[in-house]
Amino acid sequence: MHYAYPVTLEPDAEVGGFVVRFDDVPAVHTQGDDLDHALEQAEDALVVALSLYVDAGEPLPKPGPARGRPLVAVPARVAAKLALYEACRAEGLTKTALARRLAIPETEARRLLDLDHPTKMDRLERILRAFGLDLVVTTRRRAA
């Protein structure tokens, strides 16, 4: 599972800067004053949009091929939480069932799936292992 989505960047003739669209996550539109700012805004907007899927209990959109377009990835902690969310969906686990499985309070299980909550990475890694998943981090050069 990866959470790096291709973006289309278009110059904004009216106000300047760039407009950003995610074809795979149609609800995401944002813009920035320059290319770097547009990509920063795109990351934030992507996390917000994916959190709406999680909150609604909906399947996450799958990233399509880049085809030469820049990729915008969610932060590593968010990617780990999204992987946990998808593992829970695959097994049909509710937040209550996740809490029982991990022997934690339900409020803690809810925080594990809250993309804004700052859960520690080592904790997420251990929990993902309990689902038979390894957390693998890769790096790549940012779009220039």
Length of the chain: 144
- Tens-digit pLDDT profile for residues 70-79: 999 999 999 9
pLDDT on residue 13: 86
Structure-block tokens of residue 81:
């939480």
pLDDT of the residue at 65: 95
Residue 29 backbone dihedrals phi, psi, to 5 degrees: -140, 135
Per cent of the chain over pLDDT 90 is: 87
Mean pLDDT (the chain, rounded)? 94
- For residue 144, pLDDT beyond 90: no
* pLDDT given at position 100: 97
Identify whether the C-beta of residue 77 lies closer than 8 Å to the C-beta of residue 121: yes
Q: Residue 19 in contact with residue 12, Cβ under 8 Å?
A: yes
List Cβ<8 Å contacts ≥24 apart for 92-100.
none
Q: What percent of the chain has pLDDT over 70?
A: 98
Q: Which of 70, 66, 24, 74 has the alpha carbon at shortest distance from 48?
A: 74
Residues 6 or more apart from 113 whose CB is under 8 A from it? 54, 81, 84, 85, 88, 95, 98
pLDDT of residue 141: 78
CB-CB contact of 59 with 83 (8 Å): no
pLDDT tens digits along 90-138: 999 999 999 999 999 999 999 999 999 999 999 999 999 999 999 998 8
